[in-house]
């Protein structure tokens, strides 16, 4: 074997036995965490979710007041102009975030209710859970603590998406239960339930964050407006 051939073999062996950490390999491109993927392809709904995810993350970690629209867009991986095409104002974004958080809770509430419960029991228990747990949601609490105390309540009260969801649930209950007062309309009943729940969330009802008090309050004051055979009156507020 010639000297040049021996040299090539030695060089080849040295290359294949060189530790991986010393080899020069092409750099792996960094993956984009969020935002529009390379080449496009993201839908308007996906970009909307990305902005809401980013807003939720920043509101929870940096605070509501210090998280600007530009920061939210950057956290989501988009330009500042992109976020305004989805949410013309900061209030629009916060409203959408509050609605999404509320809907998330409602879906979880449905999963927790017993399958064999009757419509009225479901209505009562769902309202109790909302009144005693939704108020402690970290995101909603952050927004409430750093804005006008009625901001979240007003957003929920004026949410057509929430009203539509509750109305659908009420209509389904009324179709299988004959205990509701004759003549009630599902939309009116849904609006009443939302208004009642919001009054609970505002904390104007003493001790309403206690499940026992909340359940008694609903039995004594709310159900008589809804059904023909409400529970008998009893003490609601201790002391």
pLDDT in tens, 129-174: 888 887 778 887 777 776 665 567 777 777 787 888 889 989 999 9
Does any domain span residue 192?
yes
Which pLDDT does position 26 carry in this prediction? 35
Same domain, 195 and 123: yes
pLDDT digits (tens, 9 = 90+) for 18-43: 444 333 333 433 434 554 443 355 78
Same domain, 83 and 96: no
Strand partners, 180: 227
Residue 128, phi-psi category: left (phi > 0), alpha (psi -120 to 50), beta (remainder):
alpha
Which pLDDT does position 171 carry in this prediction? 94
d(CA 155, CA 194): 11
| CATH number of the domain to which 125 belongs | 1.10.357
pTM: 0.66
What lies within 8 Å, CB to CB, of 128 at 6+ separation is 211, 214, 215, 218
Phi and psi (nearest 5°) for 94?
-65, -40
pLDDT digits (tens, 9 = 90+) for 166-200: 899 899 999 988 899 999 999 999 999 988 888 88
d(CA 23, CA 18): 7
Same domain, 67 and 114: no
| C-alpha distances in Å from residue 111, one per residue of 1, 89, 106, 108, 217 | 78, 34, 9, 5, 24
Which pLDDT does position 75 carry in this prediction? 94
Same domain, 60 and 159: no
pLDDT digits (tens, 9 = 90+) for 102-134: 788 878 877 887 778 888 988 898 888 888 887
Same domain, 84 and 147: no
Same domain, 48 and 142: no
Could you tell me if 49 and 40 are in contact, meaning their C-beta atoms sit under 8 angstroms apart?
no
| CA proximity to 194, closest of 102, 78, 83 | 102
Range of the domain at 78: 43-88
Same domain, 159 and 221: yes
Same domain, 116 and 192: yes
227 three-state secondary structure: strand
pLDDT digits (tens, 9 = 90+) for 212-238: 999 999 999 999 999 999 999 999 997
pLDDT digits (tens, 9 = 90+) for 47-79: 999 999 999 999 988 888 889 999 999 999 998
Count the domains in the chain: 2
Same domain, 110 and 215: yes
Same domain, 109 and 211: yes
């Amino acid at each position: 074997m010639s000297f040049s051939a021996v040299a090539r073999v030695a060089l080849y062996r040295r290359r294949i036995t060189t530790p991986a950490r010393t080899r020069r390999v092409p750099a792996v491109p960094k993956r984009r965490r969020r935002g529009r993927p390379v080449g496009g392809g993201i839908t308007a709904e996906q970009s909307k979710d990305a902005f809401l995810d980013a807003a939720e993350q920043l509101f929870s970690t940096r605070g509501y007041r210090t998280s600007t629209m530009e920061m939210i867009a950057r956290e989501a991986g988009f330009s500042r102009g992109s976020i305004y095409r989805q949410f013309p104002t900061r209030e629009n974004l916060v409203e959408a975030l509050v609605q999404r958080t509320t809907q998330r809770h409602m879906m979880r509430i449905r999963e927790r209710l017993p399958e064999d419960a009757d419509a009225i029991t479901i209505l009562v228990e769902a309202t109790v859970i909302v009144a005693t747990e939704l108020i402690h949601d970290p995101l909603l609490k952050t927004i409430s603590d750093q804005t006008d105390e009625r901001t979240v309540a007003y957003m929920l009260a004026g949410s057509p998406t929430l009203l539509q969801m509750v109305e659908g649930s009420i209509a389904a209950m009324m179709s299988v239960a004959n205990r509701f007062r004759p003549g009630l309309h599902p939309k009116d009943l849904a609006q009443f339930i939302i208004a009642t729940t919001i009054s609970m969330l505002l904390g104007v009802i003493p001790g309403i964050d206690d499940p026992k008090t909340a359940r008694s309050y609903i039995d004594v004051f709310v159900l008589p407006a809804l059904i023909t055979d409400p529970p008998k009156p009893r003490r609601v507020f201790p002391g």
